[in-house]
A = this chain, B = another copy of it.
Amino acid sequence: MRYKFPLLAIGLEVAMIILFAKFVRYETGSPVPQQQNATKTDRFLPLYPLFQDVHVMIFAGFGFLMTFLKRYGFSGVGFNLLLAALGLQWGSVVQGLLHSRGQGFAIGIHNMINADFSTATVLISFGAVLGKTSPIQMLIMTILEIAVFAGNEYLVGEIFKASDIGASMTIHAFGAYFGLAVAGILYRPGLKKGHWNEESVYHSDLFAMIGTVFLWVFWPSFNSAIAEPGEAQYRAIVNSYFSLAACVITAYALSSLVQHQGKLDMVHIQNATLAGGVAVGTCADMDIQPYVSMIIGSTAGIVSVLGYKFLTPLLAKLMIQDTCGVHNLHGLPGVMGGLASIVAIAMNMSSKSTVAMQAAALGSSIGTAVVGGLMTGLILRIPIWDQAPDQYCYDDSVYWEVPEHRELDDRFPEPEDHRQQKPEV
């Protein structure tokens, strides 16, 4: 950590500045073809609130969602900020260059939304390896994963011309399977029986709920931000809203059902309540009707809780230790989203996409994620990236100066010896 991390970070930032200097310029106020009286920058402000909603999700939502561990809160929200800040710069460049075929490009509101989107994949994968990787490894993963993500996103959108407006496949399934592949390669046999730090305390679970609530509230903006204006964008919002609401009800029900005393589990509430936003993503802008989005959301809540209960322990035995259970929040619901779009298109011809294109997009998203994740994992396994030993996993004190006292273990006022010095007021 001593010099490798700061030098790598500074080196990456210098590289970003050079890339921006060479390729990135402003959009100008020149008129948009075919739209009288409208300039490109006119389209910026109406979408800016949706961008800001997504921005809150990335930095406050994902950030606080990852503070649930009792000794890893600084890293949860802190590394989230670091990775997302790097990722949005790198994502802008990679996606911009791909779509301009290397010609340079202007930054519009869609670029900014997509830049935030591309960081989401990294943050999802970060959840799978949370507590077990160094910041150096995370910076490297950010660079590699966004490059692969942009490639897949280009393939899905430009070559297959598939529809994935809420990015269930290209972000959620991709991010989850990429992260699981990395986690598999970085498998730590020493953690097979769990780790004394891998648990929450009461207030760390409440900090995580900040993340859950802001993710939940703004998810309709995530699913609609880059939709076609008008009816499609409207539908993306409405479908997401009702899918998320339905998902909450079934997630609570299942959480209670799978525990032998019927008690709710905070892990499920923090995560599975969001699965409805993921699962409805791909077909959010389609003409599927609100009640169908509620069916999708309810199913996602059920699948996600069952995943946490039964699949995560199984994966751990299969050498994939998924700290946040991203497979249940992003992986399974992401695949569900892709499958739902296939069914929707099969039953209804309103989309510009076809069943085959959607299936190709789903396959490509999972395939590139697994291959990219395995390769990234192998690179991250090279023992020069300051990975902490098993004992130090899930522990902020390896990378952060932490307060000597976690909490005041005493009644509110300061210790007796200080108190005695106090005059009466």
Contact = CB atoms under 8 A, between A and B. Distances in A.
Contacts of A246: 13, 16-17, 85, 89
A286 B289 CA distance: 38
Interface residues of A, number: 138
A231 to B, nearest CB: 5
Interface stretch (A234-242, A311-319, A326-334): A234-242
Interface string A398-425: 1111111111111111100010011101
A207 B205 contact: no
A197 B414 contact: yes
A28 B44 CA distance: 25
A166 to B, nearest CB: 16
A191 to B, nearest CB: 14
Interface stretch (A146-154, A171-179, A252-260, A354-362): A252-260
A97 interface: no
B245 A42 contact: no
Interface in A294-318: 294-295, 298
Given A203-B407, A391-B422, A250 B81 contact: no
Given A16-B294, A202-B73, A246-B17, A397 B412 contact: yes
- Give the one of A202, A295, A389 with max B CB within 10 A: A202
Contacts of A46: 45-46
Identical chains bound together, number: 3
Interface string A213-247: 11011100100000001110111011001101110
A375 interface: no
A265 B112 contact: no
B85 A17 contact: no
B81 A213 contact: yes
A114 to B, nearest CB: 13
A408 B411 contact: no
Interface stretch (A49-57, A123-131, A363-371): A49-57
Nearest to A67: B206
A206 B77 contact: yes
A253 B291 contact: no
A249 B403 contact: no
A344 interface: no
Contacts of A423: 389, 391
A311 to B, nearest CB: 19
A269 interface: yes
A187 interface: no
Interface of A: 1-3, 5-7, 9-10, 12-13, 16-18, 20-21, 24-29, 39, 41-42, 44-46, 48-50, 52-53, 55-56, 59-60, 63-64, 67, 70-71, 73-74, 77-78, 81-82, 85-86, 88-89, 107, 112, 135, 196-197, 199-203, 205-207, 209-210, 212-214, 216-218, 221, 229-231, 233-235, 237-238, 241-242, 244-246, 248-250, 252-254, 256-257, 259, 261-266, 269, 273, 287, 289-291, 294-295, 298, 388-389, 391-392, 395, 397-414, 418, 421-423, 425
8 contacts: A20-B294, A44-B237, A52-B217, A200-B403, A202-B408, A392-B422, A404-B412, A406-B407
